[in-house]
A and B are shown apart, each in its own frame.
Chain A
Amino acid sequence: QSALTQPPSASGSPGQSVTISCIGTSSDVGGYKYVSWYQQHPGKAPKLMIYEVTQRPSGVPDRFSGSKSGNTASLTVSGLQAEDEADYYCFSYAGNYNYVFGSGTKVTVL
Chain B
Amino acid sequence: EIQLVESGGGLVQPGESLTLSCVASGFSFSDYWMTWVRQAPGKGLQWLANIKHDGSAEYYADSVKGRFTISRDNAKNLLYLQMNSLRAEDTAVYFCASHTRGATDLWGQGTLVTVSS
Contacts and interface: CB of A to CB of B under 8 A. Distances in A.
B95 A91 contact: no
B26 interface: no
Contacts, number: 67
B95 A36 contact: no
What 10 pairs between A and B have smallest CB-CB spacing?
A: A34-B102, A36-B103, A51-B103, A97-B59, A45-B107, A104-B44, A99-B47, A101-B45, A48-B105, A93-B102
Interface of B: 35, 37, 44-47, 50, 57, 59, 61-63, 95, 101-105, 107-110
7 contacts: A1-B62, A33-B102, A45-B109, A91-B104, A99-B50, A99-B102, A103-B44
Given A45-B95, A97-B59, A98-B61, A91 B101 contact: no
A36 B61 CA distance: 18
Contacts of A64: none
A52 B98 CA distance: 15
Contacts of A102: 44
Nearest to B44: A104
Contact of B103 (A1, A40, A91, A100): A91
Contacts of B50: 97, 99
Interface string A54-71: 010100000000000000
Given A38-B45, A102-B44, A103-B44, A48 B108 contact: no
Given A45-B110, A46-B95, A98 B59 contact: yes
